[in-house]
Amino acid sequence: MDYIIKDGTVVNEGIIAKRDLFIHDGRIVESASALRNPQTFSAEGCYVIPGVIDTHVHFRDPGFPDKADFATESAAALAGGVTSVIDMPNTNPQTTTLAHLEAKEALAAKKSAVNYGFMLGATNDNIDDLLAIDPLRYAAIKLFLGSSTGNMLVNKADVLDKLFSQSRKLIVAHCEEECIIQANLRNYKMEFAGKEGEDASLHPKIRNREACFVSTYKAVERARKYNTRLHVAHISTATELSLFSNKAVDDKNITAEVTPNHLWFDDRDYAELGNKIKCNPSIKSNDDRMGLWGGLIDGVIDTIATDHAPHTLAEKEQRYFDAPGGIPGIQHSLQMMLEGLFSPAACQRDDHGEVLDEWLPLIVAKMCHNPATIFGIEGRGFIRPGYHADLAVFEPGETVVTPKSLLYKCGWSPIQGQTLHTRLRQVFLNGMPAGQSTAMPLQFVK
């Protein structure tokens, strides 16, 4: 089916303009002359942006069916305007071999509601095999420099040197210094041994600023030494920003990501939300949160990705030391970022229409354009002739986050009960409205 998306305000490559879009055989075309019996979708009063590309998700499939699977989490992604995802390797089995990658691709082909790609995971023992795999087969190499859910910690200097010096692929690093975390953890466990009273407010003290900065510094220095393409995931401190540049994405090998959670919450929120906002790296101070907003605006931070990492509510309700780290968030990630624009973190005004017009190009760059550029995703992330018609259409209006509205298998969100001031009107995936579309594997060109 061909489509005309009529009278929408299109936001693309820094330009906001009211215009029509034309879709033929699933792709954007320049004019209506190429269309065959098109259907018209009215986007009057709406913004139209490229579909969000979330390059950091944990859909927990295979291996953790109680937490999530590709069907439930991709449905939640699509409902939030996310049309493409890149899934992490710490599943069961871990995605550390070509065989496990192929099995995961087959699983997603059956289940996914959005376009999909995967990272391969580095370990202390698989670097030779990893380097031998065709780099166009997968999205990136995921490197855990701090242990997290599903321990894939790589901590041998010779292994790291080999990976950074020989990789032909982007390396995405989880940067936390393990020895600092473990020392802090031992100290606090001793302090609370046999006692009650520990809570999630300990998390930014255990996984602290020092652990993040030291690990990120080492990763960046290694990347500079070997001229490696490095993308540092989920920056959580203002101090780490000094390690990155604000050059254009095309002009730098070392890039950075932030999550909506680290821009939305700070350590004052542990009192109310507790383990629900326990994630790795930890959510830290308001000064860090504001610093991250500044880094996003200044171009030091290049992408926004969710690190969507669901756990069951029962797991989260355990005592702090036993509760896993991870937050579900993909269904409202775009709306959370749009909501954040209305706060003093980004501006001092509350005239939402003018604020959206001013700041939307920034959000589109960080959630659509830059992910496609950094990860070398072919034909997506921009509204251009010949590109896949992945589009999110939204409008001003209220969205109340209720348990009933959540599509996650885990069934909860830390922003439950909150009202967001935008709502998704329609999502197009590969040229078709959500629900009628078929997901595709992502193709990588670098």
pTM for this predicted structure: 0.96
Q: What is the pLDDT of residue 345?
A: 44
91 and 17 housed in the same domain: no
19 and 75 housed in the same domain: no
Say how far apart CA 146 and CA 166 lie, in whole Å. Answer: 22
Q: What is the pLDDT of residue 22?
A: 98
C-beta separation of 25 from 431 below 8 A? yes
In sequence order, what are the residues at sequence separation of 6 or more whose Cβ sits closer than 8 angstroms to the Cβ of residue 128? none
> pLDDT tens digits for the chain (446 residues)?
899 999 999 999 999 999 999 999 999 999 999 999 999 999 999 999 999 999 999 999 999 999 999 999 999 999 999 999 999 999 999 999 999 999 999 999 999 999 999 999 999 999 999 999 999 999 999 999 987 666 689 999 999 999 999 999 999 999 999 999 999 999 999 999 888 889 999 999 999 999 999 999 999 999 999 999 999 999 999 999 999 999 999 999 999 999 999 999 999 999 999 999 999 999 999 999 999 999 999 999 999 999 999 999 999 999 999 999 999 999 999 999 998 776 544 444 455 556 667 789 999 999 999 999 999 999 999 999 999 999 999 998 999 999 999 999 999 999 999 999 999 999 999 999 998 999 999 999 99
| 397, part of any domain | no
309 and 346 housed in the same domain: yes
Q: What is the pLDDT of residue 353?
A: 57
Q: What is the pLDDT of residue 147?
A: 76
Q: In terms of residue numbers, what domain contains 100?
A: 51-374
Say how far apart CA 119 and CA 137 lie, in whole Å. Answer: 10
In sequence order, what are the residues at sequence separation of 6 or more whose Cβ sits closer than 8 angstroms to the Cβ of residue 225? 164
7 and 154 housed in the same domain: no
| 424, part of any domain | no
Q: Which of 340, 374, 408 is the last residue of a domain?
A: 374
Q: Which of 374, 396, 428 is the last residue of a domain?
A: 374
| 409, part of any domain | no
C-beta separation of 49 from 360 below 8 A? yes
307 and 284 housed in the same domain: yes
| Category of 234 on φ-ψ map: left (φ > 0), alpha (ψ -120 to 50) or beta | left
HEC-encoded secondary structure of 136-191: HHCCEEEEECCCCCCCCECCCHHHHHHHHHHCCCCEEEECCCHHHHHHHHHHHHHH
Q: What is the pLDDT of residue 197?
A: 84
129 and 181 housed in the same domain: yes
60 and 23 housed in the same domain: no
Domains in the chain: how many in total?
Answer: 2
8 and 107 housed in the same domain: no
370 and 241 housed in the same domain: yes
| 387, part of any domain | no
189 and 128 housed in the same domain: yes
The CA angle 392-82-56, to the nearest 5 degrees, is: 150
Say how far apart CA 246 and CA 297 lie, in whole Å. Answer: 10
Indicate which CATH number applies to the domain containing 180: 3.20.20.140
C-beta separation of 167 from 122 below 8 A? no
Q: What is the pLDDT of residue 150?
A: 65
Q: Which one, of 274, 219, 266, lies nearest residue 238 by Cα?
A: 266
| 419, part of any domain | no
| 340, part of any domain | yes
Q: What is the pLDDT of residue 195?
A: 84
Q: What is the pLDDT of residue 14?
A: 95
